[in-house]
């Protein structure tokens, strides 16, 4: 399809204007390529091609979230082309997403998290201290893994123990961290602009999650964990401590309060599990 020639231009836009990582951009391009390579010769114009592509997507045995992601990727690409006056008359009504029941994210209680960190320190993996420090930062601040790994020394403000974070869509926010945590960073090599580095290169999210995977395989932790769970657990713990949900929204960098409200369900489900486990009449509940 002739619109494929604009992919590189769109990639540059996502990186420079939307502040997305190269990894995120590559994921978007994978979805976009499916549309560009599915050119329906029978369709007479672009709107017809879009309608045919979305119709075929909905017939496939894909998760609703996957279909919606692919539709959203295509919609944003075409909006970009429309804004740049490269295409005209796009019927955006075709891009209506399927209803998608949001899954309740997994979270871990404070006591369980303390035990997990103790177990992680028993690992014999190289550079375990660095990976654990990244996970602690996520748990103590609610950062996304990409935000934590993109932190630079210049983002830290020791005056009030705060960190400037650059999240999705070039949005900047300020989060706070404990002084004890910042004290650990004093011993780091500051030759690189990024805080978390190995061999003078920024460490990857994959390496952090690989560390967790190895700890699971070595029976140091009983469940398979990803770095996302540490962010979820931060939000849930804040809610359990009666923090205002709008403050949590700002700390997490959510653009919509509805996204943050998912964590209220997590907190309720955790309380229910505790009640079922420790209630004096637990066998009769």
Domain ranges across the chain: 2-95, 110-278
* Domain 110-278 bears CATH identifier 1.10.443.10: yes
Which pLDDT belongs to residue 278? Answer: 42
The predicted model scores a pTM of 0.60
What is the separation of C-alpha 215 from the centre of its chain, rounded to a whole number of angstroms?
22
Q: Which sign does the torsion angle of CA 200, 206, 210, 216 carry?
A: positive
Report how far residue 20's alpha carbon sits from residue 278's, in angstroms, rounded to the nearest whole number.
45
Q: How many residues does the chain have?
A: 285
Q: Which of 84, 60, 99, 212 shows the shortest CA–CA distance to 145?
A: 212
User: Would strands 156-157 and 172-176 be described as parallel, antiparallel, or unpaired?
Assistant: unpaired
Residue 281 is predicted with a pLDDT of 45
pLDDT at residue 125, as a whole number: 93
CA distances from 149 to 60, 124, 254 (A): 36, 23, 19
Provide the pLDDT for residue 7: 84
The whole-number mean pLDDT for each consecutive block of 10 residues of the chain, a chain of 285 residues, reads 77 81 83 77 66 80 81 85 80 62 64 93 94 95 91 92 80 87 86 91 93 94 90 83 80 77 60 46 43
Other C-beta atoms closer than 10 Å to the C-beta of 175 total 19
| pLDDT at position 86 | 82
Is the distance from CB of 164 to CB of 209 less than 8 angstroms? no
Q: Which long-range contacts (CB under 8 A, 24 or more apart) does 64-68 make?
A: 64/98, 64/99, 64/100, 64/101, 65/100, 67/97, 67/98, 68/97, 68/98, 68/100
Quote the pLDDT of residue 268: 55
What pLDDT sits at residue 280?
A: 47
What pLDDT score does 102 carry? 52
- Domain 2-95 and domain 110-278 have a common topology: no
Q: Which fold has domain 2-95?
A: DNA polymerase; domain 1 (1.10.150)
Residues 6+ apart with CB under 8 A from 8: none
């Amino acid at each position: 399809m002739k619109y494929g020639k604009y992919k590189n231009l769109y990639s540059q836009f996502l990186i420079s204007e939307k502040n997305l990582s190269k990894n995120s951009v590559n994921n978007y391009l994978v979805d976009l390529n499916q549309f560009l390579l599915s050119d329906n010769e029978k369709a007479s114009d672009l709107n017809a091609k879009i309608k045919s592509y979305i119709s075929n997507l909905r017939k496939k045995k894909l998760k609703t979230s996957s279909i919606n992601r692919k539709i959203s990727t295509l919609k944003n690409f075409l909006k970009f082309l429309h804004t740049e006056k490269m295409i005209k008359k796009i019927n955006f009504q075709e891009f209506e997403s399927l209803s998608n029941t949001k899954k309740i994210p997994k979270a871990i209680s404070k006591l369980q998290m303390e035990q997990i960190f103790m177990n992680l320190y028993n690992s014999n993996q190289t550079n375990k201290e660095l990976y654990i420090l990244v996970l602690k930062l996520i748990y103590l601040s609610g950062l996304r893994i990409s935000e934590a790994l993109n932190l630079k020394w210049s983002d830290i403000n020791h005056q009030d123990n705060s960190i400037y974070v650059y999240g999705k869509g070039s949005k900047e926010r300020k989060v706070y961290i404990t002084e004890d945590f910042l004290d650990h960073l004093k011993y780091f090599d500051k030759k690189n602009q990024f805080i978390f580095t190995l061999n003078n290169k920024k460490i990857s999210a994959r390496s952090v999650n690989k560390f967790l995977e190895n700890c699971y395989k070595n029976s140091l932790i009983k469940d398979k964990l990803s770095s996302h769970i540490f962010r979820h657990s931060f939000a849930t713990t804040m809610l359990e401590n009666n923090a205002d949900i709008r403050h949590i929204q700002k700390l997490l960098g959510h653009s919509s309060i509805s996204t943050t409200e998912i964590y209220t369900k997590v907190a309720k489900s955790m309380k229910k599990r505790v009640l079922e486990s420790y209630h004096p009449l637990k066998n009769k509940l």
